Amino acid sequence: MHSRKSSPSRRRSVSPSQHVELTPEALGFLELLQDLGHLDDALFEQVLESISKALVPEGATHVQVSLDDVRRLVASMLMEQEAKLGDPQRQLLEREWALLFS
């Protein structure tokens, strides 16, 4: 099991005037994916960056991101990463996919 080095903040600045706030459920889901080994630190940061880019409307100063939003984005990102996974990681993800993303 992967252990987090530091807990991510619920708020993330994307510019001095923009903030993205993950709901507790969304943050908990990301932490679960990290604990299960599906997100390493680098991919976790990519997810947060993608959330900021994909889910923050232009000109918005504060956006709250839900669990459903995070699930859709992470599912897409993990599908893109699947080809890079080793067999054990791919098999684990396949077994857990329905539980995590349904």
The residue to which tokens 């699947």 are assigned: 82
Residue 94 or 55, more confident = 94
* pLDDT value at 27 more than 80: yes
Say what the pLDDT of residue 9 is: 47
- Residues 30-56: pLDDT tens digits? 999 999 888 888 888 888 888 888 877
- Name the band, by pLDDT with cuts 50, 70 and 90, for residue 24: very high
As a whole number of angstroms, the distance between CA 33 and CA 81 comes to: 14
Q: Please state the pTM of the whole predicted model.
A: 0.74
